[in-house]
A and B are shown apart, each in its own frame.
Chain A
Amino acid sequence: MNTATTHDAHHEEHQGGLLRWVFTTNHKDIGTLYLLFALLMFIVGGAMAMIIRAELFQPGLQFVDPQFFNSMTTMHALVMIFGAVMPAFVGLANWLIPMMIGAPDMALPRMNNWSFWILPFAFTMLLSTLFMEGGGPAGGWTLYPPLVLQTGNAFPFVIFSIHLMGISSIMGAINVIVTIVNMRAPGMTLMKMPLFVWTWLITAYLLIAVMPVLAGAVTMLLTDRFFDTSFFNAAGGGDPVMFQHIFWFFGHPEVYILILPAFGIVSQIIPTFARKPLFGYSSMVYATASIAFLSFIVWAHHMFTVGMPLAGELFFMYATMLIAVPTGVKVFNWVSTMWKGAMTFETPMLFAVGFVVMFTIGGFSGLMLAIAPVDFQYHDTYFVVAHFHYVLVTGAVFAIMGATYYWLPKWTGHMYDERLGKLHFWLSAIFVNILFFPQHFLGLAGMPRRIPDYSIQFTEFNQISSIGGFAFGLTQLLFVYIVIKTIRGGARATDRVWEGAHGLEWTLPSPPPYHSFQTAPEIK
């Protein structure tokens, strides 16, 4: 608290108690709200995953009926993508971008407040559909018609909650762009920005480009259901595949929305603990931009089996394979940054290294999936499930956890318990592989995704996967404990926190003052 005494004048502005959080326009408060909300949704979505893994522990129907199982897979995806991973990245952006570019706060603080407070309403509505007549949405998070049109009373509520999430994301993205473009400290040119800021700038543009596309697609579903339009109804002259094209035009950039900020985080952490500058800063920026560009022209690789013309299949296969080039550049850069450094392996570094290894495994399976003639075999199997969990869990989620350990001492002024942090990493890394690696085998052996019951040949690997799943789930309670413990107390953190840390956020006290930089720092 003593560090904040110079800012007494501003302390009068914020209210005490709960109302402080409801009315706050402060980037740190809102960042905290986003991160806590994401943690809560991570637990909710995780609980759904536990139900899925419990049902799949043995062949036969044990715990839930197939309709409820389908609504669990659907909700698990919606909650984890829109409720956990995206808000976590927005929370990190809120906390870090002003501190990294030398600004006092985000550019549009009132909108910032609004974009967060929409989320609890959106997700209360989404989750409440589980208790409605006909159950929650059960047609998959991709909402393909005509199946999704068979949803019961939940249908309009699901669509409206997706609209709300979209509005929230777009406002968050606008705020990020305006802040980065207008509020950088003098001397901080674009090519001097930390990579986390760069990746978020590009992510924000992706969000603005594709969230309206999703909103349009789900609105067309709504009018097909209630106002007798036939956008996606073949009997009325529409085309159900058209929805898939529109959805994946949103969906593929969305994949990069979920991973680009993670690239940024890892590019901050590795140089710190290697005590060596990032090998190729500008090539990392260009690689991020090329990935973002390519993400707009590869969408149909999610739909190789819908019966596209050969020319279309070839185009989307080549374009998708091309993404491996800039992604490879990133991985090579991280490895070269580590090469001949003086590395130490505190928890954030462990998560970053774990990210590089396991994200690369997800990248390899991604490359395999890009090959259309073999994708006909992989498509809609557990091989795909394994692939996207490697990039989303050991990719995005590991990066978010690494970021939490990395910046938590800065945010709270307390060091986390290093021994527990390392334990959390090692348990997570081991169990997550027991959970997801066997799913590659299941998919190759022919197990389709989204089934509540399976033929007996798949029993063993499902059991291994479920055991890994339960253990991974339990391990995350340790993460919650460590975070709460650190917020409440612990050894004092220094301002720089990490010996090798560079960047403006480390020049501020730990914890930083309420308004980050009152006078803009000078960048040489």
Chain B
Amino acid sequence: MWVEKAKRVLTALAGAASMLGGTTASAEYGLNLHRGVTPISHEAYDLHMLIFWVCVAIGVVVFGAMFISIIRHRKSRGHQPAQFHESTTVEIIWTTIPFLILVGMAIPATKALVAMEDTRNSDLSIKVTGYQWKWGYDYIDSGVSFISSLATPRDQIENTAEKGEHYLLEVDKPLVVPVNKKVRLLITSNDVIHAWWVPQLGMKKDAIPGFVNEMWFRIDTEGTYRGQCAELCGKDHGFMPIVVVAKNEQDYNQWLAAQKAASDADAAAAGRDWSKAELMARGEKVYKANCAACHQAGGTGVPGAFPALKGSAVATGPKADHLKLVMNGRPGTAMAAFGGQLNDIEIAAVVTYERNAWGNDTGDMVQPSEVKAAR
């Protein structure tokens, strides 16, 4: 195993060396920026390479002169020090030339920037909401909305299971978009600042509570593209990935119709009374996806940071207070208001679960209709 690892490290080093040598870039180890799959990402990549080579050229001249000097102008080689200094001509030259180079770089950069910030005439708008620590997507035109959170199992993170291919870059429900359409994202946040970033799409934008930012992309190839939250957002900042699946128009429409059907079914089911077993089963799922990151799978919390639910005053006290806390959150803490994130069934299920799991055994049940009434 160690031999295998050492081999991979050596290959990576060789890859790095070959890139420095100006030959091929190793795609496997990701030495360079992704060229990406959108016009924006292509422009960013081209600019990146342009500036990189400009820097290399300047570096060759400056470091070249310096190393020639270091080798030739040594006291040990008997070199006598010249005493020249102060030359206005030289100073003017080495102020003007870099300035002109900068102007040369500013022109394409300005063009690219203007194009990137132009969010007009989009075909599709999706609202993106950052939560600690997951993403919410609302398809504004079609009413479909869902939460997308990390799908990597806990035991892979804790090194008790072999890590999968897309370790930490996999979600339960990806964002699905059509190819060759201008997709406009309206980005905001529900708690702290996050940033929505998929490298292959060439753009990142902060998700800021109380403000709505815009960005756009037009994906040219079908496929799955992965990214992460890029702005430190608390404990699980490293565990809120983004997955975008780009489908052709027909597949996309099929997917959208299926989503609508599923949410209609949920809305219908919210009207009936649920059995305790149903609520507990659904509640466990909801708890794992939304609550376990802080309160832990066993309801034990993290002393000093996140309160325990097992045997807690809230989870074993009055039902109405518990429900209110889950729906409205606790301002100024990491406890979010789940009223806006989860539907009636999910809230009913998770509160029922919390009041009966881990020996809390209150025997209480919360029905979706009660949640609806509490809204």
Q: Does A376 contact B (CB under 8 A)?
A: yes
Contact B91 A371 (CB under 8 A): no
B253 within 8 A of A: no
Is A61 a contact partner of B332 (Cβ separation < 8 A)? no
For residue A240, CB closer than 8 A to chain B, the reply is yes
A191-231 residues at the B interface, CB under 8 angstroms: 225
Q: Which residues of B are found within 8 Å of A461, using beta-carbon distances?
A: 12, 29
Residue of A nearest to B160 (CB): A60
Is the C-beta of A342 less than 8 angstroms from some C-beta in chain B? yes
Binary CB contact string for chain A from 119 to 140 against chain B (1 if under 8 A, 0 otherwise): 0000000000000011100111
Q: Are B90 and A446 in contact (CB under 8 A)?
A: no
CB neighbours (8 Å) of B11 from chain A are: 460
Interface size class of A (residues with CB under 8 A): 35 or more
A374 at the interface (CB under 8 A from B): yes
A60→B204 contact, CB < 8 A? no
A446 CA to B36 CA, complexed, in Å: 12
The answer to whether A325 touches B203 (Cβ under 8 A) is no
Given A241-B211, A314-B110, A453-B238, A441 and B169 contact (CB-CB distance below 8 Å): no
Within 8 A of B (CB), among A297-321: 305-307, 310, 313-314, 317-318, 321
Contact B208 A241 (CB under 8 A): yes
Q: Point out the residues of chain A lying under 8 angstroms from B202, CB to CB.
A: 376-377
B83 CB-CB contact with A under 8 Å: yes
Q: Confirm or deny: A75 has a beta carbon within 8 angstroms of a beta carbon on chain B.
A: no
Are B238 and A371 in contact, with the CB atoms below 8 A? Answer: no
Residue interface mask A308-342, B partner, CB < 8 A = 1: 00100110011001101100110110011111111
Q: Let me know if B210 and A448 touch, CB within 8 A.
A: no
Say whether A338 contacts B232, CB under 8 Å.
no
CB-contact partner of A140 in B80, B165, B232, under 8 A: B232
Interface assignment of B63: CB less than 8 Å from any CB of chain A: yes
Answer whether A139 and B30 are a contact pair too, CB < 8 Å, given A277-B83, A325-B98, A441-B16: no
The digit string for A448-473, where 1 denotes a CB below 8 A from any CB of B, is 11111111111111011000000000
B363 within 8 A of A: no
Closest to B19 in A: A441
From B48-56, B174-182, B255-263, B282-290, give the one contacting chain A: B48-56
B372 CB within 8 Å of chain A: no
- When the two chains form their complex, are residues B63 and A357 in contact, meaning their CB atoms are under 8 A apart? yes
**Nearest-CB residue, chain A, relative to B94:** A332
Does any Cβ of A come within 8 Å of B267's Cβ? no
Structural contact, A373 and B47, CB atoms closer than 8 A: yes
Q: Which residue of B has the minimal Cβ distance to A464?
A: B9
Pick from B66, B199, B209, B227: contact of A357, CB below 8 A.
B66
Q: Is the CB of B168 within 8 A of A307?
A: no
Which candidate, A30-38, A177-185, A280-288, is the interface stretch facing chain B?
A: A280-288
Interface contact A455-B169, CB-CB below 8 Å: yes
What 0/1 readout, one digit per residue, does chain A (439-450) give for beta carbons within 8 Å of chain B? 001001110111
Stretch at the interface among A62-70, A249-257, A410-418: A62-70
Q: Is the CB of B75 within 8 A of A373?
A: no
Q: Which residues of chain A come closer than 8 Å to B163, judged between CB atoms? A: 59-60, 456
A453 contacts across to B, CB distance below 8 A: 157, 168, 238-239
- List CB contacts (< 8 Å) of A233-250 with chain B: 233-235, 239-241
Given A373-B109, A446-B227; A380-B208 close (CB under 8 Å): no
Of A310, A371, A454, the residue contacting B105 (CB under 8 A) is A371
Residues 375-387 of A, flagged 1 when their CB comes within 8 A of B and 0 if not, give: 0110111000000
A86 contacts the other chain (Cβ, under 8 Å)? Answer: no
> Roughly how many angstroms separate A284 CA and B103 CA in the complex, as a whole number?
23
Contact A60 B156 (CB under 8 A): yes
Residues B165-197 near A (CB distance < 8 A):
165-169, 191-193, 195, 197
Q: Determine if A360 is an interface residue (Cβ-Cβ < 8 Å).
A: yes
Residues of chain A with a CB closer than 8 A to B69's CB: 335, 338-341, 343
B364 to chain A, nearest CB (A): 30
CA distance A338 to B51 in the complex (A): 28
Given contacts A62-B159, A353-B70, A453-B157, contact A328 B304 (CB under 8 A): no
A-side contacts of B34, CB under 8 Å = 445-446
Which of B112-120, B135-143, B268-276 participates in binding chain A? B112-120
B32 close to A444 (CB less than 8 A): yes
Q: Is the interface of B mostly helix, strand, loop or mixed?
A: mixed
Name the A residues within 8 Å of B59 (CB-CB). 360-361, 364
A445 CB contacts on chain B under 8 angstroms: 29-32, 34
Given contacts A332-B62, A341-B73, A444-B31, contact A280 B195 (CB under 8 A): no
| A79 interface residue per 8 A CB criterion | no
A483-503 CB mask vs B (1 if < 8 Å, else 0) is 000000000000000000000
Q: Specify which chain B residues have a CB less than 8 angstroms from the CB of A280 in the assembled complex.
A: 85-87, 90-91
With the chains together, A376 CA to B117 CA distance in Å? 11
In angstroms, Cα B209 to Cα A366, docked, is: 29
Task: Give A239 to B81 CA distance when docked, in angstroms.
Answer: 59
Q: Which residues of A contact B370 (CB under 8 A)?
A: none
Which of chain B's residues has its CB closest to A438's CB?
B16
Residues in A57-105 with C-beta less than 8 Å from chain B: 59-62, 65-67, 70
| A240 touching B208, Cβ below 8 Å | yes
Q: A460 CA to B26 CA in the complex, in Å?
A: 13
Q: Which range holds the interface residue count of chain B?
A: 35 or more
> How far apart are the CA atoms of A441 and B80 in the complex, in Å?
43
- In the complex, are the beta carbons of A456 and B62 less than 8 A apart? no
Is A190 interfacial (CB 8 A cutoff)?
Answer: no
Contacts of B79 in A (CB 8 A): 340-343
Knowing A134-B304, A241-B211, A314-B113, say if A279 contacts B85 (CB, 8 Å).
yes
User: In the complex, are the beta carbons of A335 and B62 less than 8 A apart?
Assistant: yes
Chain A: CB-nearest residue to B202? A377
Which residues does chain A contribute within 8 Å of B233, judged by CB atoms?
Answer: 147
Report chain B residues within 8 Å CB of A139: 232, 234
**Residue B1 is within 8 A (CB to CB) of chain A in the complex:** no
The reply on A146 being an interface residue by CB < 8 A is: yes
The yes or no answer to A356 lying at the interface (CB within 8 A) is: yes
A444 and B199 CA atoms in complex are apart in Å by: 9
Cβ-defined contact, B204 with A376, below 8 A: yes
The minimal Cβ–Cβ distance linking B226 to chain A, given in whole angstroms, is: 8
CB within 8 Å for A374 and B168 given contacts A150-B234, A150-B333, A368-B55: no
A156 at the interface (CB under 8 A from B): no
A144 interface contact, C-beta 8 A: yes
Tell whether B354 is near chain A: CB-to-CB under 8 Å.
no
Q: Which residue of B lies closest to A334 (CB)?
A: B66
Query: How far does the Cβ of A340 sit from chain B's closest Cβ, in whole Å?
Result: 4
Cross-chain contact B305 with A376 (CB below 8 angstroms): no
Contact B332 A149 (CB under 8 A): yes
Could you tell me the distance between the alpha carbons of A459 and B167 in the complex, rounded to whole angstroms? Answer: 12
Closest B residue, CB atoms, query A500: B81
Nearest A residue (CB) for B29: A460
Task: Tell whether A403 is near chain B: CB-to-CB under 8 Å.
Answer: no
Q: A133, A336, A364: which contacts B55 (Cβ < 8 A)?
A: A364
CB distance from A310 to the nearest CB of B (A): 5
B206 touches A306 (CB 8 A): yes
Chain B residue at minimal CB-CB distance from A336 = B90
Q: Decide yes or no whether B205 CB sits under 8 A from chain A.
A: yes
Do A379 and B230 touch (CB < 8 A)?
yes
- Residue A289 lies at the interface, judged by CB distance under 8 Å to chain B: no
Query: Can you list 27 A-B pairs, Cβ within 8 angstroms, ordered by A?
Result: A61-B159, A70-B232, A135-B304, A138-B235, A147-B192, A278-B85, A280-B87, A306-B213, A307-B214, A310-B117, A325-B98, A340-B81, A343-B73, A356-B66, A357-B63, A367-B55, A373-B47, A374-B47, A377-B48, A379-B195, A379-B204, A451-B238, A452-B238, A456-B165, A460-B11, A460-B29, A464-B9
Q: Which residues of A contact B (CB under 8 A)?
A: 59-62, 65-67, 70, 133-135, 138-140, 144, 146-147, 149-150, 152, 225, 233-235, 239-241, 274-283, 305-307, 310, 313-314, 317-318, 321-322, 324-325, 328-329, 331-332, 335-345, 353, 356-357, 360-361, 364, 367-368, 371-374, 376-377, 379-381, 437-438, 441, 444-446, 448-461, 463-464
10 nearest A-B pairs in the assembled complex, by CB-CB distance = A234-B210, A445-B30, A451-B238, A460-B12, A307-B213, A373-B112, A364-B55, A340-B82, A342-B81, A147-B192
